[in-house]
Amino acid sequence: MSSIPKIVILGAGYGGILTAQRLQKELNYNEADVTLVNRHDYHYITTHLHMPAAGTDKIEHARVSISKLIDEFKIDLVKSSVKEIRLQDRKVILEDGTLSYDYLIIGLGGEPETFGIPGMLDHAMTIRSINSVRLIREHIEYQFAMYKNDNKRNRIRFVVGGAGFSGVEFVAELADRIPQLCKEFDVDTKHVHIYNVEAAPSALPGFDPELVEHAMNVLKKKGVTFKIGVPIKQCLPDGVIVGDGEKIDAATVVWTGGIRGNSLLEQAGLEVMRGRVKVDEYLRAPGHEHVYVIGDNSLVFNKEGRPYPPTAQIAMQQGVNCAKNIVAAIRNKQPQPFEFTSKGTVASLGKGEAIAVVGDKKYKGWKAAQLKKLVDLRYLFIIGGIPLVLRKGRFFG
């Protein structure tokens, strides 16, 4: 190692940002060189993307300039894409240069998991970045505009694949947006159809059945048609084939059915399961004690031996733990095992509606919607303090 260790963080998602912020707080001046690599110069709030995708909120509310979140005298921000990770050489190859490291944190975010469904990668859109969200919103508006010209009914039919968190939250926002679009483009609302298709036997897997039933009832009243226990067999340019061969004609297919890890990890020679690395108790990649893997790229198991779902909540806690363990390694101190503590789960169901579980308490409706706002405001406060809460927070609506 050089006299001053080099720490490289790949990705400025929930885990990457929290790692960077904690390192800048814990490290003394000149104790380490820290570099944060991200494709964009902003951090985006993934759990908020379903709203601008449907057009119910501004894109600006879902992103924050990284320069407002880190001290650029302590952390060097490199705006670039990662092309290759060379573990043996302790190097990261970027599109426009190379970085060497003594400690590497991989938090590159996930990729869509299509489970091999033919045509899904080619014809469906995904809610996974600011650019993809902009594309979905503009595409939906374009379909309404075109419908007035050619009267093709499939233009105002929408299929959302997957009824997990992302799928349900997106269909809720889309259902809220439809009346506004119909008014704007003079379209009869009864001609618009939203389908939410899920292969599993239940929507919102892992949620309490009573809350799932409430969520589905709320969304059905908003005009959503559920197809639960029905897999999508194929995605076409003009719709999907589901179940036993039924075709749903739709000019818009949005896939929210799964996230896998990042293909760069497997290419680097790490052992992966669906693109994720099963990390050790200190969040390190097996066999590479200077490489930490967090967020969508990591696989962490609970005491029952089941993997935790890759949520923002777990990524944030991993970021804090990861930073502490790197500081401990630099100072030759004992690392702390990572233990996830659930703060609860909230799913938004559109304007004024949500479901939530906090501890052993269940909430639905307006109370749950206020909890969702509190969760969002808490995150803004954690990463940017009161100024960010005031700038980006949603207090009403």
**pLDDT tens for each residue of 67-108:** 999 999 999 999 999 999 999 999 999 999 999 999 999 999
* Domain contains 250: yes
Active site residues: 169
Q: Tell me: do 212 and 104 sit in the same domain.
A: no
Judged against a pLDDT cut of 50, whether residue 194 lies above it is answered with yes
> Has residue 83 been placed in a domain?
yes
* 244 and 282, same domain (yes or no): no
Secondary structure E strands in 42-90: 42-44, 63-65, 75-79, 82-86
Residues 226, 149 share a domain: yes
Task: Supply the pTM of this predicted model.
Answer: 0.95
Determine the average pLDDT of the residues in 244-271: 95
| Predicted confidence (pLDDT) per residue in 311-368, tens digit | 999 999 999 999 999 999 999 999 999 999 999 999 999 999 999 999 999 999 999 9
- Element at 317 (helix H, strand E): helix 312-330
Q: What's the domain range around 152?
A: 125-255
Higher pLDDT, 207 or 321: 321
Distance CA(193)–CA(21), nearest Å, equals: 44
pLDDT at 1: 45
273 with 309, same domain: the answer is yes
Say if residue 106 is in the same domain as residue 161.
no
Over residues 24-53, mean pLDDT = 95
Q: What is the mean pLDDT of residues 244-272?
A: 95
**Same domain for 337 and 289:** yes
Domain containing 76 — which CATH number?
Answer: 3.50.50.100
Q: Decide if 183 is inside a domain.
A: yes
Domain count, the chain: 2
Clarify whether residues 101 and 157 are in a common domain: no
**pLDDT tens digit sequence for 130-150:** 999 999 999 999 999 999 899
Torsion of CA 367, 370, 374, 375, to 10 degrees: 70
Q: What is the pLDDT, as a whole number, of residue 395?
A: 66
Confidence of residue 206 (pLDDT cuts 50, 70, 90): confident
Kindly state whether residues 234 and 138 are assigned to the same domain: yes
- Do residue 281 and residue 242 come from a single domain? no
What is the per-residue pLDDT for 249?
Answer: 97
If asked whether residues 244 and 280 sit together in one domain, one would say no
Percent share of the chain, pLDDT over 70? 99
Name the domain boundary from 321, 341, 361.
341
As to burial, measured by CB atoms within 10 angstroms (0-12 exposed, 13-18 middle, 19+ buried), residue 237 is exposed
DSSP 3-state of 238: coil
Residue 20 phi/psi, 5-degree rounding, is -60, -45
CA–CA distance, 173 with 278 (Å, rounded to integer): 35
Question: Is the domain of 190 the same as that of 239?
Answer: yes
Greater pLDDT, 395 or 347: 347
Band of residue 396 on the pLDDT scale cut at 50, 70, 90:
low
Tokens of 60: 């600006």
The predicted pLDDT at position 394 comes to 72
Residue from 353, 390, 384 nearest 368 by CA = 353
| d(C-alpha 234, C-alpha 331), whole Å | 54
Domain stop point among 303, 322, 341: 341
CB atoms within 10 A of CB 73: 8
